[in-house]
Structure 1
């Protein structure tokens, strides 16, 4: 009998972050504010980059992609979590769980690849500035963007393919606030050791390799900055520091969760909160508040909007 036909579970129960009604209400308010800030913050970055032609460079092209992925990544899990805070029984259908896992890993893996590409972009800009626009031309940027999305799709399909082919006949409780591959395969009615090793080899290896590549890239950048002028060195270091902060927060979760077999730790949920909600919120803060070009472009956009509104006021009064 095929493994799919042995699956009797039609829905899963998400344990969530808390079972206390008062705590859940407090968490609902907190994460609602966080989610709205994610949408607004990343949305402003995308609109500002699109509107200001001075930001139509490879760096900001990838940064707008990062903001888009962060919005999608948080939307996969946070709205469902918010809804579950207001219910007693937190259930998700088998199909909904599979869909959530697919898009979670699609956006997460794509972001890992994007962060790696952004490190390469900074390496070329800082270490080979004379040929930067030649190396990172529009065609290359589009090709890199397409490649990372394709890589994320292949990665996600591989994980979901391994997961849905397992038989699920109970139990149904997922020890988290969203569906993810490690806690789901623990519920399978079969030995999953081989699958767990494959997941570690897939997700864990991708995370570790990309992290090593990123660290090496920034190591080379830091060495090359020794002979730069103070102002140029300060700006480059600021950009690299912002990028490394995002990388550490995001890849830290991936390495912690996916570089080991499916063993639950009490810290898993806390780490998952940072992965799904906090990191997408920090990205616009880090890149906007630490980036002079973004701040100037944002102020320019706001001034233009205020000017346009003042221009329309006399016309509306006529």
Structure 2
């Protein structure tokens, strides 16, 4: 990189010095002996070269002198002025000389750029460390992006699965609700029918005959709904009834209303009163009483 910035500056400086010397010799050679003109041209180029060398020495030491820089620019502008003055008096070749009159100023500008590069240049080790840090940052950014994409894909998959499961549950619940609604509707229609009880009584007349002599058997379908459970503690604490006590209770409950209660109604009232007896004993007592 140093050769890339210093090479053009050196080349433009050499060309500028050669052009300045040639112009001074041609321009002043007609007015004075050419050795004198040669000395003038070498003086301009030598002063420019000396200030440039001193300026480069200070730059190598990490120092800078505004006076030396100003003198160097004065020599560069003097050389450019000589070229411009010669171009204006050259007659037909004015354009050609003006085309190269900017080379001294350009050479000074190239040395300025080279000095700025030297002041900001880094060692290969520092450049390698910077490249390593940049590469590490790029790697971390790439890993973070990949992790975010993976997390987003996982979350999307999870949400899709949860949504699908929720949809299946909703469909099953809707189907179950429709089935239950149909069953309730069918049961309610059958229970509210006028001929339901009569039809069931006719079918089961042989079973119910003589159970309640003075009461026409009446059948009803069960009604689904909330029920009240008898406390287990109350059942356990109730004393066991003898057959005579059980028969008396069943007869009392059966004839508590007119007409006499059916077995089903009697059993409900028996248990609601807090009495405890197995279904087998209760039905046997009903048969004895009835």
- 1 or 2 for the larger relative contact order (CA 8 Å, sep ≥6)? 1
TM-score, normalization by structure 1? 0.28
Normalising by the residue count of structure 2, what TM-score does the alignment of the two structures yield? 0.30
